[in-house]
C-alpha cells in the first residue's frame, strides 16, 4: 500500500508524524474551521485542494498550518491537467511541489482528467478517450509529477457523462496499465464508480472487479445529483453537495472488506452543511473501516491478493 511505503521514508519532519492509516477524513472548508478547532481529533485527517493554497500567504495558509499541527493532511490537486494533450505547466508543477514540501501531506493525489487546453482554463474535470496514445501521454505526465514531488501520486478515477468514439480500451484497463507503467497509486472514488457506471449503463460491481484494487491508497466518497439524458433516462452528476447515497455506502463496504482499512475521505464541496453533519458522514465511514479492521489484521487482504 502506498501510504505504508511512505511512512518508511525518513525525512526531517516539521509536523508530527501522520496517523492517517485506517482513518476517515473530511474535506477542509474554511467555513468549518471554528467548529473544528473546538474539537480534539474531530476526524482522522483533512484533505485540501492544492490550488486553494497556491497563493503566497494570508488566512488560507494560516488556517492550514493550524490544522496541520493537529492533523494529517492529504493534498488533492485539481488543475494539473494530467489527461490533456498539452505539456504539463512547469509553474503549476513547481507550485504543487512547494506545497508538498511545505505541508508534508500524508497522501498526494490528482485526477485522470484535463482542465486546461491552449492556454484556456476550463475549471472542470474534462474526460479523455482511452487509447494507446493517451495512455502513453498520461503515463509521461504522471512520471513527470512523481519526479517533481519525489514520491508516488495517487490517480483518481473520474466521473464521466459520455464516451469517445476513439476509445479502444476500458477505463479500468487504462487505469491498471497506468499504475503498472508509472508505479503510481490509485485514489478510488466510489461515488465516481457509481456515477460513471450508471451513466455508462454498466455495473459498478463489474467496474470494481476489474479495478486494480491492490493499488488503492485512498478512497473518496461523496453525494451525487440526478438529471435526465437525451432519452429521459437517469444521468447522475458528481455534485458533492449532499450526503453519500446508500448504494455508494454499500459499494464502499464491499471495497473495504476487500481492501482493508484504506484512508477514506468524505467530499462535500457546495451546499455546505454545518460541521457536525459532515463529521457524521466521516464517522459513518470510520465505523465501516473499524468493522473490517479485524479481518484486515487477520490477513484477509493478503489472502485475497495472494
Partner 1 sequence: MPSMHEADYAEGFAANLLQAGQGKPDFVVGPNGKGADTRFGVYRNNVSVGLINALTGMFPATRRIVGEEFFRAMARHYIRSHPPTSRLLVEYGRDLAAFISGFEPLAEMKWLADVAAIERAWLDAYHAADAAPLAMESLTAIAEDKLADTRFVPHPAARLVRSHHAAVTIFSANRLEREVGAIDVGTAEDALIARPHLEVSVRTLPTGGAKFLQSLFDGHPLGVAAETALAECPAFDLGANIAGMIEAGAFAGIRQ
Partner 2 sequence: MNTKTTATLVAGALAAAVSMAAATMTAHAADQEKCYGVSLAGQNDCAAGAHSCQGQSTMDYDPASFKLVPAGTCLSMKDGKPSLEPMNG
Q: How far is it between the farthest Cα atoms of the chain? A: 57
**Closer of 41 and 119 to partner 1 (Cβ):** 119
**Closer of 162 and 303 to partner 1 (Cβ):** 162
Extract the C-alpha cell encoding 155: 490517480
**Closer of 29 and 102 to partner 2 (Cβ):** 29
CB atoms within 10 A of CB 298: 10
| DSSP type of residue 62 | H
At closest approach, how far in Å is the CB of 30 from partner 2? Answer: 4
Cα angle at 233 between 230 and 237, to 5 degrees?
85
Helix or strand holding residue 136 (H, E): helix 132-149
| Residue 38 touches partner 1, criterion: CB under 8 A | no
The C-alpha atoms of residue 186 and residue 280 are separated, in whole angstroms, by 26
The C-alpha atoms of residue 235 and residue 193 are separated, in whole angstroms, by 13
| Residue 122 touches partner 1, criterion: CB under 8 A | yes
**Closer of 64 and 285 to partner 1 (Cβ):** 64
| Residue 62 touches partner 1, criterion: CB under 8 A | yes
111 contact, one of partner 2, partner 1, none, CB 5-8 Å limit per kind = partner 2
229 contact, one of partner 1, partner 2, none, CB 5-8 Å limit per kind = partner 1
269 contact, one of partner 2, partner 1, none, CB 5-8 Å limit per kind = partner 2
At closest approach, how far in Å is the CB of 232 from partner 2? Answer: 16
Cα angle at 178 between 200 and 104, to 5 degrees?
110
Q: CA of 232: how far to CAs of 61, 66, 201, 226, 236, in Å?
A: 46, 48, 14, 11, 12
Map residue 176 onto helix, strand or coil.
helix
240 contact, one of partner 1, partner 2, none, CB 5-8 Å limit per kind = partner 2
Extract the C-alpha cell encoding 289: 473501516
Select the residue interacting with partner 1 from 165, 246, 303, 306 (CB under 8 A): 165
110 contact, one of partner 1, partner 2, none, CB 5-8 Å limit per kind = none
Binding residues for partner 1, per CB under 8 A? 51, 54-62, 79, 81, 84-86, 89, 92, 114-124, 126-129, 131, 133-134, 161-166, 199-202, 227-231, 233, 235, 237
Amino acid at each position: 500500500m502506498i501510504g505504508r511505503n511512505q511512512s518508511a521514508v525518513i525525512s526531517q519532519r516539521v509536523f508530527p508524524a501522520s496517523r492517517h492509516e485506517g482513518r476517515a477524513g473530511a474535506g477542509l472548508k474554511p467555513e468549518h474551521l471554528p467548529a473544528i478547532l473546538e474539537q480534539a481529533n474531530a476526524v482522522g485527517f483533512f484533505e485540501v485542494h492544492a490550488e486553494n493554497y497556491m497563493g503566497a500567504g494570508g488566512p488560507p495558509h494560516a488556517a492550514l498550518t493550524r490544522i496541520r499541527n493537529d492533523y494529517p493532511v492529504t493534498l488533492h490537486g485539481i488543475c494539473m491537467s494530467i489527461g490533456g494533450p498539452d505539456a504539463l505547466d512547469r509553474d503549476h508543477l513547481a507550485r504543487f511541489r512547494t506545497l508538498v514540501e511545505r505541508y508534508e501531506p500524508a497522501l498526494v493525489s490528482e485526477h485522470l482528467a484535463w482542465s486546461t487546453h491552449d492556454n484556456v482554463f476550463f475549471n472542470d474535470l474534462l474526460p479523455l478517450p482511452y487509447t494507446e496514445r493517451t495512455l502513453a501521454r498520461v503515463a509521461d505526465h504522471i512520471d513527470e509529477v512523481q519526479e517533481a514531488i519525489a514520491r508516488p501520486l495517487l490517480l483518481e478515477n473520474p466521473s464521466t457523462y459520455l464516451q469517445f468514439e476513439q476509445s479502444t480500451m476500458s477505463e479500468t484497463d487504462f487505469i491498471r496499465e497506468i499504475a503498472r507503467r508509472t508505479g503510481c497509486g490509485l485514489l478510488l472514488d466510489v461515488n465516481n464508480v457509481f456515477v460513471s457506471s450508471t451513466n455508462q449503463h454498466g455495473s459498478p460491481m463489474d467496474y470494481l472487479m476489474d479495478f486494480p484494487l491492490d493499488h488503492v491508497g485512498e478512497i473518496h466518497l461523496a453525494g451525487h445529483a440526478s438529471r435526465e439524458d437525451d432519452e429521459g433516462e437517469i444521468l447522475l452528476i458528481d455534485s458533492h453537495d449532499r450526503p453519500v447515497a446508500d448504494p455508494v455506502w454499500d459499494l464502499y463496504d464491499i471495497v473495504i472488506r476487500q481492501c482493508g482499512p484504506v484512508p477514506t475521505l468524505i467530499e462535500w464541496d457546495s451546499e455546505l452543511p454545518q460541521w457536525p453533519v459532515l463529521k457524521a458522514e466521516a464517522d459513518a465511514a470510520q465505523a465501516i473501516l473499524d468493522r473490517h479492521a479485524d479481518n484486515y489484521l487477520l490477513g484477509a487482504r493478503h489472502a485475497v491478493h495472494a
